[in-house]
Amino acid sequence: MPIPRHLTARRSPPLGGVARAPGDKSMSHRALILGAMATGVTDVEGLLEGDDILATARAVEAFGATVERLGGGRWRVTGRGGFEQPAGVIDCGNAGTGVRLLMGAAAGYPITATFDGDASLRKRPMKRITGPLASMGARLDWKSEPDRLPVEIRGGVLAAIDYVQTVASAQIKSAILLAGLNADGVTTVTEPEPSRDHTERMLRAFGVEVGVLPMEAGWRVSLKGGQRLTGTAVAVAGDPSSAAFPLAAGLIVPGSEVTAEGVMLNPLRTGLFETWREMGADLTVSNRRMAGGEEVGDVTARHSALRGVVVPPARAASMIDEYPVLAATAAFAGGATVMRGIGEMRVKESDRIALMAAGLQACGVGVEEEPEGFIVTGGPVRGGATVTTHGDHRIAMSHLVLGLAADEAVTVDEPGMIATSFPGFVELMRGLGADIASSA
C-alpha cells in the first residue's frame, strides 16, 4: 500500500479495548547486537519489527552474524563470537540508538567500519559517543563534517576508561560498556542519575559480570574487559514509550477506558506513568509478571480530569522519549505543566521541544518555550492545524493523540516515519475506536 502523505485525527467517541504494546525498542536493538557479539544462538521473542530495528538487524548481518526471522516477533541470531570486517557501509537508517550502540561494539574489534544513516540521522550529534571511544583508542575519520555521520571507525586494541557523564544517557553508557568488553582493564561509567539499565540487565543474561554501585546521586556501572558472551533466549517486553500513545488517548478522550497489555514496568522507564498519576490520572496496573528479566503488567487508563504539575528535572532520564506525548496530555490539563532539564530533546530525531511547541501553539494551546524545556498551559484545545513533524515519529503520534480530543481535526505530515518505532500504530488506534484517516 502507498504511504499516505498525511494523517488526520478527529474528535472521537469514547475509546475502549485492549491492545498489545509493541516490543520495546531499546531491548530489541540490544538483543540483536549482543546476539551478534555472542557465540552461539540467541532466540528472541517479541522483537519490535519497526524500521529502526530492521536497520540494526541488517547491520549485524553485515558484521558477520546470521539473522533469521522465524515468525511474528520471533527472530534468531547466530553469532560468531565477535564482529567481522563488513564489506560495505553500515547504513543505520534513522536508528539513533542502533548506530551509537553499534559504534561502541565495533570499536572493540580489529576492523574498520563506516557508519551512515538517512538525512535525519546525519543531523544528530555523534561526538558524545565517538569522544569516549577515541579516548579508549579507537581511530575516527569524519567523512563530511566533525560530529556528524558518516564516520569511519577503526577499532582494535582499546584501553579501559573511567567516564563521568554530566547528563545521564543510556546510549553513551551502553556504547562505552560494549567497547569495554574488548578493552584492557575495567571500564567504568558514572552517571549523575540512573539511565535505563537494559544493557546491564541483558549483558548479565549473556553471561557477563556487570557491577553497579549506587552513589549519593546516580550510580557507577563497570565491567572487566575480556569477557565473552554466550547466546541465550531473550523475551522482549512491551515498550512503555509506545504504550504511552493509546494510554494518553484513554486519559483525554471523554468516556474512554484503554488497556495496554504486557507493558514493561522497569522503574527507570515509568517516569511518565508516575507523572500522569501526579496529574490526577486514573491509571492502574494489573497482572504483574516477569518476562525476559523485566517486570511487565497490563496498564489501564481511564478518562481523567488532569491538572498541571512541575515535572522534576531528575525524572528526565526515565522518560526523555515520552515528553512529546506528555505535552499533548498536558494541553488538556488544568493549569501549567512545567517540563525542564530536557535539553536532550533538542538533539533527538528532531528538535522536539521546538516542534512540540510549534504544533501545540498552532492548535491553540498556550506554550512557553525555554532553552532546556517548555511550559504547557492546558485548557480547551482548538486543534484545526496541520502540524509539521520533520519526519519525527513521536511528534506525529503525539499530535494525532491530541487531535482525538481537540475541537477540530489535527493533521500531521510525513506519517510514514511512524513505522520506525510503532508499525501498526494507526490500525491499533482505530481498533480502539480512534477516528484517524489517511490521505495521499
Q: Residue 263 corresponds to which amino acid?
A: V
All three cell numbers of 331, joined, read 494541553
Find the helix packing angle between 25-37 and 170-180, rounded to 10°: 10
All three cell numbers of 279, joined, read 496529574
| CB-based contact 132:122 (threshold 8 Å) | no
Q: Which segments of 31-138 are extended strands (E)?
A: 39-45, 66-71, 74-80, 90-91, 112-116
Q: Which segments of 51-122 are extended strands (E)?
A: 66-71, 74-80, 90-91, 112-116
Can 321 be counted among the known catalytic residues? yes
CB atoms within 10 A of CB 212: 11
Catalytic annotation, pick one of 52, 91, 197, 321: 321
What gap in Å lies between CA 192 and CA 189, rounded to an integer?
A: 10
CA distances to 155, 197, 238, 290 from 266, rounded to whole Å, are 33, 9, 11, 11
Whether the bond into 150 is cis, omega within 30 of 0: yes
| Catalytic residue positions, numbered | 321
